Amino acid sequence: MTARADVGYHATRQARWRWTEIAFWILALACALLFPSRYLIMTDIVRLALFALSLDLILGYAGIVSLGHAAFFGIGAYCAGLLALHGIIAEPVIALVVAGLVAMAVGFLTSFLVIRGADLTRLMVTLGIALLLEALAERFSNITGGTDGLQGIEMQPILGLFTFDMFGKVGFFYSLIVLFLLFLLARRIVHSPFGLSLRAIRNNPLRAAAIGIPVNRRLIAIYTLAAFYAGIAGALFTQTTALASLDVFSFERSADLMLVLVIGGTGYLYGGLIGAVVFKMLQEVFSTITPQYWQFWIGLVLVVIVLVGRARLHRWALWAPNLIIRQFGGRRAIVAVPESDAP
Amino acid sequence: MTTLFTILFDGVAYGMLLFVLACGLAVTLGLMNFVNLAHGAFAMTGGYVCAVLVNRSGWPFFAALPLAFVASALIGALLERSLYRHLYNRSHLDQVLFSVGLVFMSVAAVDYIMGSSRVFIKLPAALEGQIDFFGVGIGRYRLMIIVICGLLTAALQLVLARTRFGSRLRAAVDDPRAASGLGINVPQVFAFTFAFGCGLAGLGGALSAEILGLDPYFPLKFMIYFLIVVTVGGSSSITGPFLASLLLGIGDVAGKYYVPKMGPFVIYTIMIVILIWRPNGLFGRTAAR
């Protein structure tokens, strides 16, 4: 009994909002007001952050390595595009939710394939599904526009009130609000008993099953949820850029996403958000140095991160913040990345 | 009827090529359980070495082929000793990230050095055109590929089954711990096999320039094919990947001929179905590693 109360106590303590988290979101909002000329790239970051959050749910919390997460991003993107193009659902928020639900349905169906087999089979199946969808989108070019992509998408005002402007201001705040709401939901989920059971599965599926966690059902649930998030991210992409092309399904997108999450660190939700900021900045820097070959440097970053070791890098990155907190807070550092290596 | 034979012939040639390209990966995955997505990069290296030698330095095609092998094998050995070695015990996620990073680097580097357009290798006149065999048109180049790859496969099988090195390798694949307990130097066996696999990939890359097309995006485009060969074939023997590559080659050629609009759709569907049906591959053992 005491042990159980203890777990509950720690879980609630973990789930409490910290001032660093509040500061993070205030900072995010402040960026919006400080750099009014950079809305487009900031929208890009927010979208990527949401997408990375989605991968974090399955990779960081459930330990599923996916090489084809762009599949759900692409489904969301095309859904939102088609809904807007044909005027089926003109209102962006409802279209966003519908696109997310469609991706979620596909995620649910494919989750049965993903939970079978070991890591390598999972890699292959996720990669295969993304490639399959790309091939399908190319095949049915009368619907998707083939290699040209969907063209001539016109977005209606959000809730009938806010029109998308050409500077991307409305698009940015719209994306930020969506990200924040979904983040709250994810935060609630990962701190719930359900989230704790996921972590148990990631650490040791066999042991988790032995203490009575329905492993497969939990994995299906989180995979489906992650697909929903990725679908929303894809829909945001289409809605804020007014285009959807075949590259939404591409392998590079899934691989970049992994890099984003790895930069930020897996398994604590903020990883994706921080990673998205750093990744976009890196991309900006690299493409100013060598416009055509920035991929080389991205690859180099990946190789170096792995060789140095992810946990060590995060310790280095957190050294300064922890020192400051220790000095001023006068207590143990609270900024820390949980050890979270996928098996 | 003749088209059926032509498809079968082209499919076999294609499949043999895939086997030579991918069999190194089967060893990497089977022996060290290392997910190496960068295998295509070694194939591309071989292809470009051959292209440079033939087109710029005027070497004869058949003299350039062994050099493609050697160049790729050397680079493979170098990378194995310097980088890959440290990652054998890491998680699959780390291995995937690392090899994807290598792929990105190789794509950008080749794009920078050689340009992004497709490269053609000048073939000797003897390899061009077709032979008419009872009404079935047989491409000379494809015939040569079947001969070379067939000989290679037979040689590989012999080495694996008959030589001391082969039995060491098989022991290491079956159970690395017991093998090292018996005094087999598993890391050395692996380094050698890795380099040899990379060399074969390089040779395959040089041979495939004519059929698959050689451009900087080669490692990305064909990554899935190599992985299909290995996962579907299983990594416990050399016959598994061999049959899987023949299946894949014939399936792909036939699919492109009969249902051209579906494109690669057929292959991916088959792969997913097979992996659902048998997660350890068609010819793999059921024992989980």
Q: How many interchain CB pairs under 8 A, A with B? A: 137
Is residue A278 exposed (0-12), middle (13-18) or buried (19+ Cβ within 10 Å)?
Answer: middle
Which residues in chain A touch residue B93, judged by CB atoms under 8 angstroms apart?
59, 65, 258, 341-342
What integer pLDDT is reported at residue A3 of this predicted model? Answer: 55
Rounded Cα distance between A127 and B272, Å, is 10
Nearest C-alpha of chain B: how many angstroms from A45?
21
* Residue A144 main-chain phi, psi, to 5 deg: -95, -10
The 3-state secondary structure of B53-96 reads: HHHHCCCCHHHHHHHHHHHHHHHHHHHHHHCHHHHCCCCHHHHH
Question: What one-letter code names the amino acid at B111?
Answer: D
Q: Report the candidate in B130, B155, B126 with the shortest Cα–Cα distance to residue B10.
A: B130
Written as six digits, the tokens of B33 are 């359980």
pLDDT over threshold 70, residue B177: yes
- C-beta separation of A264 from A272 below 8 A: yes
Kindly state the DSSP code that residue A249 receives in the 8-state scheme. Answer: G
- Can you spell out the DSSP letters for A31-69? HHHH-TT-HHHHHHHHHHHHHHHHHHHHHTTT----S-T
Q: Report the candidate in A247, A244, A263 with the shortest Cα–Cα distance to residue A45.
A: A263
Question: Tokens 């091939």 belong to which residue?
Answer: A135
- Which H or E run includes A146? none
Q: What is the pLDDT of residues A269-312, one digit of tens each?
A: 888 899 999 999 888 888 888 878 888 888 898 899 888 887 77
What integer pLDDT is reported at residue A186 of this predicted model? Answer: 93
Across A147-156, average pLDDT: 78
pLDDT over threshold 90, residue B139: no
pLDDT over threshold 60, residue B288: no
User: Please, which residues bridge with residue A156 across strands?
Assistant: none
pLDDT over threshold 80, residue B49: yes
Rounded Cα distance between A68 and A131, Å, is 8
Whether the CB of A293 is below 8 Å from some CB of chain B: the reply is yes
Domain residue spans of chain A: 28-294
Q: Report the candidate in A96, A48, A113, A103 with the shortest Cα–Cα distance to residue A71.
A: A103
Percentage of chain B lying above the pLDDT 90 cut: 24
What integer pLDDT is reported at residue A330 of this predicted model? Answer: 55
pLDDT over threshold 60, residue A166: yes
Is B94 close to A120, i.e. CB distance below 8 A?
A: no
Which of B90, B101, B288 comes nearest A118 by C-beta? B288
Question: What one-letter code names the amino acid at B245?
Answer: S
Question: Tokens 């590989």 belong to which residue?
Answer: B156
- C-beta separation of B254 from B11 below 8 A: yes
Question: Tokens 């074939």 belong to which residue?
Answer: B233
Is B265 close to A135, i.e. CB distance below 8 A?
A: yes
Q: How many residues does chain B have?
A: 289
- C-beta separation of A244 from A73 below 8 A: no
What integer pLDDT is reported at residue A338 of this predicted model? Answer: 47
Is A306 close to B87, i.e. CB distance below 8 A?
A: yes
Whether the CB of B101 is below 8 Å from some CB of chain A: the reply is yes
What integer pLDDT is reported at residue A102 of this predicted model? Answer: 95
Percentage of chain A lying above the pLDDT 90 cut: 27
Rounded Cα distance between B236 and B233, Å, is 9
Written as six digits, the tokens of A85 are 């193009």
Is A296 close to B109, i.e. CB distance below 8 A?
A: yes
Q: Return the minimum-mean-pLDDT range out of A55-59, A133-137, B171-175, B195-199.
A: B171-175
- Can you spell out the DSSP letters for B108-158? HHHHHHH-SS-B-PPPPGGGSSEEEETTEEEEHHHHHHHHHHHHHHHHHHH
Q: Which of residues 295-324 of A touch B (CB under 8 A)?
A: 295-296, 298-303, 305-307, 310
Is B220 close to A251, i.e. CB distance below 8 A?
A: yes
Which of B83, B96, B105 comes nearest A123 by C-beta? B96
Complex ipTM tops 0.85: no
Q: What is the pLDDT of residues A50-106, one digit of tens each?
A: 999 999 999 988 888 888 899 999 999 999 999 988 888 878 889 999 999 999 999
Q: Which of residues 91-120 of A touch B (CB under 8 A)?
A: 113, 116-120
Rounded Cα distance between B85 and A212, Å, is 39
What integer pLDDT is reported at residue A48 of this predicted model? Answer: 93
Which of A129, A135, A302 comes nearest B98 by C-beta? A302
Which of A124, A139, A305 comes nearest B263 by C-beta? A139
Q: Report the candidate in A267, A207, A336 with the shortest Cα–Cα distance to residue A63.
A: A267
Rounded Cα distance between A340 and A203, Å, is 8
Across B22-30, average pLDDT: 82
Across B261-281, average pLDDT: 78
- C-beta separation of A306 from B101 below 8 A: yes
Which residues in chain B touch residue A259, judged by CB atoms under 8 angstroms apart?
97
Across chain B, mean pLDDT equals 85
Q: What is the pTM of this model?
A: 0.86
Nearest C-alpha of chain A: how many angstroms from B108?
5
Is A306 close to B101, i.e. CB distance below 8 A?
A: yes
What integer pLDDT is reported at residue A319 of this predicted model? Answer: 77
What integer pLDDT is reported at residue A342 of this predicted model? Answer: 37
Nearest C-alpha of chain A: how many angstroms from B55?
25
Compute CA distances B92 → A66, B70, B89, whole Å: 11, 29, 9
Query: What is the rounded (10 degree) CA torsion for B253, B257, B263, B268?
Result: -40
What integer pLDDT is reported at residue A181 of this predicted model? Answer: 94
Q: Which of residues 161-200 of A touch B (CB under 8 A)?
A: none
Bigger pLDDT: B201 vs B172: B201
Is A258 close to B98, i.e. CB distance below 8 A?
A: no
Question: What one-letter code names the amino acid at A199?
Answer: R
Looking at chain B, which residue has its C-alpha nearest residue A255?
Answer: B100
Rounded Cα distance between A314 and A325, Å, is 16
Q: Which of residues 250-269 of B touch A (CB under 8 A)?
A: 261-265, 268-269
Rounded Cα distance between B84 and B234, Å, is 22
Whether the CB of B273 is below 8 Å from some CB of chain A: the reply is no
Bigger pLDDT: B119 vs B67: B67
Rounded Cα distance between A270 and B182, Å, is 48
pLDDT over threshold 90, residue B279: no
Rounded Cα distance between A290 and A300, Å, is 14
Question: What one-letter code names the amino acid at A87?
Answer: G
pLDDT over threshold 60, residue A16: yes
Nearest C-alpha of chain A: how many angstroms from B60?
33
Across B138-143, average pLDDT: 85
Bigger pLDDT: A261 vs B29: A261
Rounded Cα distance between A330 and B216, Å, is 55
What integer pLDDT is reported at residue A88 of this predicted model? Answer: 82
What integer pLDDT is reported at residue B172 of this predicted model? Answer: 84
